[in-house]
Amino acid sequence: MGQMTFNLAPQRRIWTVSQITARIRTLLEREFQAIWVEGEISNFREAQSGHLYFTLKDETAQIRCVCFRNQARLLKFRPEDGLHVTVRGSLSVYDQRGEYQIYVDHIEPVGLGALQLAFEQLKARLEAEGLFAEERKRPLPVLPGRIGLVTSPAGAAVSDVLRILLRRFPNVRVTIYPVKVQGEGAAADIVEAIRYFNRARAADVLILTRGGGSLEDLWAFNEEAVARAIAASEIPTISAVGHETDFTIADFVADVRAPTPSAAAEIVVRTRQEFDTHLRHVERQLFDGIRMRLLRARDDLRELATSEAFRRPVELLRQHRQAVDEQTALLAELLGDRLDRARQRVAVAGARLAAFDLRAKLAALQERLSHRAGDLAARIERLLTAKRRRLESLMLKLDERSPLRVLERGYAVVYDAAGNVVRSTEGVAIGDELAIQLARGRLGVEVKGKEK
């Protein structure tokens, strides 16, 4: 029987890079799902697609994170470098680089709520743009005939505002634009209401209002779209959102901030009351001014009645008439003298003009021009003749000295392959190709022999 052999060496399993990466990804995704990781954001970048890329790090390690657009648009605040956050997501591997990373679906700031952080970020950005500046805020109209009220018709704020307005300002016209004041779609409703009043020119002043609530309840008035709509409004705007301690972005952008809805109505009414007070003050000033004028006029009349001129009006009138006659005669005399001098100047100018024969001057100028034109033509002709003779002389000299004259007598010029003139046999070898320039034409030859 033949001898049996056994291979006791272990067999090796060889993995491809893709296989080992897929195996690691499977293990990570199975073990680390819906995990929460805390760290500091660095290398934050937002792609044009809307996806967010950043690194989460602590004192000794770091891990890459990706938050895709669908999850990023749900964030109330904007992530930025240096922000300490907690993220929720799943761990996986990015095959092309072989790196493990967290696919983030939620981010929370550590220590500060997401809404409060979003509020602070938007406030800082809009303030840097100048939307809160006092110089861009418009004064409220003194007599608003139409007031636009942007609020929920079901809230308590609308009844408070209407009660004060109609009691103290009964002839004002109030237009209520019903909107949602919290929840999804509330910000879009408020923006559309502000744009409607501006398009339709349906109000002299706008009041944005709602009752108090939590930061989440008031969040519609912290949206950037609402802030920019208020800033773009051509109608002065009063923001009266929440209680006196509540502040929203709308409060900072609006032309006037009222601590409560009732205070907003009182501000509008106060402008009317201030106007009425101003009218009464002007009326009192006008009455006092007229009374003082009448008193001064009565005093002036008494003074005139006791004056000598008032007792002799006929004599005074005669003196004035005589003075007018004297001034009239003097004026006529002065005008006559000036008219005579003007006539003399016209006569002198006419004589000078008659003595100046314009036709003779023109004829003389034409004769001088014709004479100079003839002289110029003769000089040009002489110059051209001299130049022509000079050119002919130079052409004769050039023709006499031309190498072609030599070639006409039977001589030739020999050139080597490089185009150089051959002057002796030393620079030519048997078999070289040469070119011979004749008087008319050129020959190509091959050297068969040479002699010194």
- State how far the Cα of 145 lies from the Cα of 152, in Å rounded to an integer: 22
DSSP 3-state of 183:
coil
The answer to whether 230 and 239 have CB atoms below 8 angstroms apart is: yes
- Comparing CA positions, the residue from 174, 189, 180 lying closest to residue 152 is 180
- 177, 240 Cβ separation under 8 angstroms: no
User: What distance in Å separates the CA atoms of residue 406 and residue 438, rounded to the nearest whole number?
Assistant: 10
CA-nearest of 237, 232, 174, 239 to 199 is 232
For 254-323, strand residue ranges (E) read: 256-257
Token pair in block for residue 306: 């006791």
Give me the helix-helix angle, 224-232 and 114-129, nearest 10°.
Answer: 30
Domains of the chain: 17-111 (2.40.50.140), 120-275 (3.40.50.10550), 407-446 (no CATH)
Q: What is the full per-residue pLDDT of the chain (452 aa) written as tens digits? A: 455 555 565 678 888 888 888 888 888 878 888 888 888 888 888 888 889 999 898 888 889 999 998 888 877 778 888 788 888 888 988 888 888 899 998 887 776 566 677 777 777 778 888 878 888 888 888 778 888 889 888 877 888 888 888 777 777 888 889 888 888 888 899 999 999 999 988 888 898 988 777 777 777 888 888 889 988 899 999 988 877 677 888 888 888 888 888 888 888 777 556 666 767 777 788 887 888 888 888 877 777 766 665 656 666 676 777 777 778 878 888 888 888 888 888 888 777 766 666 677 788 888 888 888 888 888 888 888 888 888 888 888 877 767 666 666 667 888 888 888 888 877 788 888 888 888 788 888 888 888 87
Query: Phi and psi at residue 187, in whole multiples of 5°?
Result: -60, -40
Report the side by side order of strands in the sheet with 237-241: 173-178, 146-151, 205-210, 237-241, 256-257
Cα atoms in the Cβ-side hemisphere of radius 13 Å centred on 402:
13
